[in-house]
Amino acid sequence: MTTTAYTVAVLLDLFCVFLAYRFLFQPGPAAAGYGVPADPRGDAGAYLSIKGVRDGALGVVGLALLAFAGARAEAWFMLCVALVPLADTLIVLRHGGAKAVAFGVHFATAAVVLVCAGLLFAL
């Protein structure tokens, strides 16, 4: 179970770093994938960059916690971070995005993050 918990945690953290890259360097497609399309050349451009920095910071902090503080600290981090995809679910729904994306991407991500937290707490 240790290998599974650590592997899932590292993959989730690296996924945050990947999302950061997409929002910073491919903001249009990243926004469309998020579920609420935005024009990166317009007013939304700054917010897409902010989302990229937020996601990148979460990924780096998660990796640092896992490497330097251990599984229990990462578990608490994951538990708290699950609020982000839950909020993203509501944002997509509130702004007319597809329910499939809201639940199939964001809510599902929150569920995976919570499962990962549970695995890490079990170690």
What distance, in Å, lies between the first and last C-alpha atoms of the chain? 8
20-34: per-residue pLDDT in tens? 999 999 999 999 999
Q: How many CB atoms lie within 10 A of CB 94?
A: 10
Query: Over the chain, what is the mean pLDDT?
Result: 94
- Digit-coded pLDDT (tens) for 95-114: 999 999 999 999 999 999 99
The domain of 43 spans 2-122
DSSP string, 57-73: HHHHHHHHHHHHT-HHH
